[in-house]
Structure formats: C-alpha cells, structure tokens
Amino acid sequence: MHDARRDVSLHVVPQPDCWHSLPCVDLTDETMRQRKARVLAQMTRDGIDTLVVYADKEHGGNFEYLTGFIPRFEEALLVLQRSGEAALVLGNENLKLAPHAWLENRVFHAPWFSLPNQPMTPGKTLADLLREAGIDRDKTLGLAGWKLFTGCGEAVQGMFDLPSFMVDAIREAAGGGAVLRNATGIFISPDGGARTVNNANELAHYEYGANLASTAILTALNAVAPGKTEKQIGALLAADGQPNNVVMIAATGDRFANARLYPGDKRIQRGDTFSLTTSYKGGLSSRAAYVVENAGELAANVSDYLEVVAIPYFRAVVSWLEHLRPGVTGGDMYQLIERVLPKAQYHWHLNPGHLVADEEWLCSPIYPGSDIPLASGMLLQIDIIPSRAGYAGASIEDTVALADAALRAELAAGYPALWARVQARRDYIARHIGITLPEEVLPFSNTVGYLRPWLLDPTRALVCQSAGS
C-alpha cells in the first residue's frame, strides 16, 4: 500500500473538478445544544466549577463554539457555570450581539475590552464586574485561551494566555481560596477535547470552507504566468467574501524579502519558486512549486528537484492518506512519516498532520509517542513540509474528514450534495492519481493528492501505481 511498492511519475491527468458558489451549511439548534452539553460534561469531568473563555478576533474559536460569534475587533469573556448558566462580558461594540448568541446569557458591559480611546465609563472595577458575572470565591476556575502550552500530554498549569489585566481581575474577583487552572484542553485537547470531533452537521458546515479554499487554489494555480504580479494571483484566493483564517500567500521568488508577508507588486518570472496558500473555516489548501513548463527550464543546481524533493514528498502524502483511519494512533502516523520521509533528511519540523475547525490549526494528536487514537468525526489537514537546502518546497496541503459507517450514512442521507462531491473526489483520486483511500477517509478539498510540480504545465501531475502494474 505504501511507498516501497509504488512507482511515482509525472503523467498527463485531467484537473480535479471544483464546485463554485456553493451555499453555506448553517449549524443547527441541536448541534449548538450538543456543543454546550459536551463542554459542561468536560467541566464536570475536570472538576471545573466556572469556566472563563477568552476571545478576540484572532483567538475566538472556543468562544464562538458556544456563542456562534467572535467579538470582531474587541475582546470578550464567556463565564460559564457548571449548571449551564452563562454570562457574556463584552466591549462597547459587541453588546448588540448578545441577544443573537446561540446560548441564553446575561450580558455585562466591560468598556476595557473596547478599542483604544473609545468611551470608557465603567463605574466599577473589572473585578467587581466579573463577580457579578459569576466568578465566585473559593471555586475551581478554568481559564480557556487558545494554547495548551505543551506539545503533547497535559497542559502546563499556571500558564494562561489571557491578557494579564483580565487574569489579575479574575484572581481578585475569585479571592485567595480559588484555584485557577488552564482549561483550554476542555475545547482543544487532542485527547478528547470537545471541539476535536464533529457531528454530520458540523462536518457539512466545514466542508464549505475546504471546498472554497481548494477551488480558489486551483483557480490561482491556473492563472500563474510570467509577468503577472503576486497581487493579481492573490486576488483569486479571496473567495465569497469569507474571512481567511490564515495570512494569504501568493509569493514568487524569495518569499520573505523585505519582511513582506502579503502579496505585492513583484512580477512572476519564469524559473521562480512560487507559494500559494488560502484558508477558510474548515480547510486550508496550499501549493509550492516552480514556475516552469518542464524540468529543462530549472536552474542546473535544482534540475533534480523532482527526484530529490517532489516525488519523496508525494510518496509521504500517499502513505499518510492510505494509512489514515479511525483507531490508528497519532504516534503511528508520526512514525510512518518518519519512516518514509526521514526528518533528518527532509527537515520537516511541525507535527505531520493536525486537526482543523474554525481555526486552520486546532491541535494535533500526531506527535512522537502519541497513543491518542484518531476518531470518526475528526477533520484533518495534510501538513507535511519538507525542506531541502537550495530547492523550492513541495506542498499539497488539503483537508480530509474521518467518518465511520454510521457517520457516513448520516452524511449521505442528510447532505446528499456534499456526499456526491465526496464520492466524485474519491473517484478522481483513485482513477487519476492512483491513491486508494480507506473508506473512512472523506476528501473535503477538491485538490487532495493533486501535485503539479511545473506550474506552467497544467496538464501533468504526479501519479502513483503499484510497481509492475
């Protein structure tokens, strides 16, 4: 099944199909009830009396998981009691959102959470306000930011990534007898966090973003041409007016020249390296390759790019996809990639695969020695990043879901259009790329497995087959 029995070569293949102008799939009332129930169950399990959930524009996923919104350009706190009672502590411009939240709440105005130099007439201290919002003395308080402060295992207690003025006020409101814990793991621990497993409605909700990102990536790939600017290509990565959850990349040549992160006016030149990335809720797609029509146009020092970088990387992605299934441990997945694409030789340094949700990187169960089993309902991003000195990178980052028989049946019955897209993607991957996906692996991106090393040749991609076939 894996690389040792595979030939990989460049072949003429049709491009994958894409779906444009899809409708969003909204979360349901029942899904939101389930989300709250999961979090309350985790609080009981962990002995948390009161959970304080932090949010800002960049770190609003845990807050949004329960409320349905992020505080846009301000900050916010959700104070959730084990009884289920909720309070929202909001700045000036988010007070109007409280009546629209997906959970019943009391709302408290905290002008300190607003933009700089906006009106600030609190009339009381933040600690007093937090007491009114439900932070009581002599309780066990869980503070949820967006970091676990660990690469694996349990979170480091005593470290919080909430602003210090909030943590200080929480301590004051709670009094000396309170216990403060890092409770971010209630949401995102790779071993049972509430947000790591999705129901059918949530998967359908997130497939919209994975389809959107991969459609935009393929559109942008097909537009790459010498003389065009990064901005012209980058404009194709902004889709449906949806907010990106990472910094968009459309970079030709030296990607970080002059510390620039965003598409600029640099013009594409034949022979350049080129990087493309876009991401929305539910999925990221990324590509890296050369702006050439064939290997003969490469500089002499990288003329063996296909053999040295692209093909070994592609074999690793094929192995990852064909090995993936519920029940396999994160440690098994890590060792697989270490075996087929040794870190010492290919210098990848992030976890080779991670979970996706509203954020591009939620958490990862894939790390050395991880005994965490992958589970039905997980949404994963292929994220293996090889690096060989002097060569362009190779990247076909995309999103897949894991679904057991029951979840697949629910998706097929409840979301037939999504199910048809998934089956079309699976068929393309098998017939044209030669990858045999386990039945539990559902491609949510249109471009899963599609590696085009020469960006100016839209007809050819890497494919694999059993040796001797």
| pLDDT (0 to 100) of residue 86 | 98
| Domain boundary, last residue among 182, 212, 247 | 182
**158 and 208 housed in the same domain:** no
Across 118-127, average pLDDT: 88
How sure is the predictor about 157, in pLDDT bands with cuts at 50, 70 and 90?
low
Q: Residue 128's domain is classified under what CATH number?
A: 3.40.350.10
Residues 6+ apart with CB under 8 A from 313: 341, 346, 384, 386, 394, 451
As for how many domains the chain has, the answer is 2
Q: Is residue 307 part of a domain?
A: yes
**13 and 74 housed in the same domain:** no
CA dist., res. 122 & res. 344, Å (int)? 56
By the 8 A CB rule, do 181 and 141 touch?
yes
Reduced to 3 states (helix: H, G, I; strand: E, B; else coil), residue 216 is helix
Which residue range(s) make up the domain with 150?
A: 49-182
**297 and 419 housed in the same domain:** yes
Give the pairing type, strands 86-90 and 106-109. parallel
**206 and 308 housed in the same domain:** yes
CA dist., res. 89 & res. 68, Å (int)? 15
Sign of CA dihedral 18, 23, 24, 29: negative
β-sheet bridge partners, residue 106: 87
| Domain boundary, last residue among 160, 182, 204 | 182
CA dist., res. 291 & res. 458, Å (int)? 11
Alpha helices in 8-92 (DSSP H): 29-46, 61-67
| pLDDT (0 to 100) of residue 434 | 97
CA dist., res. 392 & res. 371, Å (int)? 34
Sign of CA dihedral 57, 150, 287, 274: positive
Q: Is residue 56 part of a domain?
A: yes
CA dist., res. 70 & res. 68, Å (int)? 7
**Maximal CA-CA distance, the chain:** 79
**Cα 203 to chain centroid, rounded:** 13
**248 and 304 housed in the same domain:** yes
Give the pairing type, strands 50-55 and 140-144. parallel
Assess whether pLDDT exceeds 90 at residue 290: yes
Q: Is residue 40 part of a domain?
A: no
**226 and 176 housed in the same domain:** no
CA dist., res. 64 & res. 68, Å (int)? 5
Instruction: Count the residues in the chain.
Output: 469
pLDDT, one tens digit per residue, over 64-110 is: 999 999 999 999 999 999 999 999 999 999 999 999 999 999 999 99
Assess whether pLDDT exceeds 70 at residue 448: yes
| pLDDT (0 to 100) of residue 151 | 61
Give me the residue label for tokens 């084990």.
82
Across 168-190, average pLDDT: 94
Task: Quote the crossing angle between the two packed helices 200-223 and 405-414, to the nearest 10°.
Answer: 80
Q: Residue 446's domain is classified under what CATH number?
A: 3.90.230.10
**112 and 236 housed in the same domain:** no
Q: Is residue 44 part of a domain?
A: no
CA dist., res. 453 & res. 268, Å (int)? 16
How sure is the predictor about 1, in pLDDT bands with cuts at 50, 70 and 90?
very low
| pLDDT (0 to 100) of residue 4 | 46
**124 and 201 housed in the same domain:** no
Q: Is residue 31 part of a domain?
A: no
Radius of gyration of the chain (CA): 24
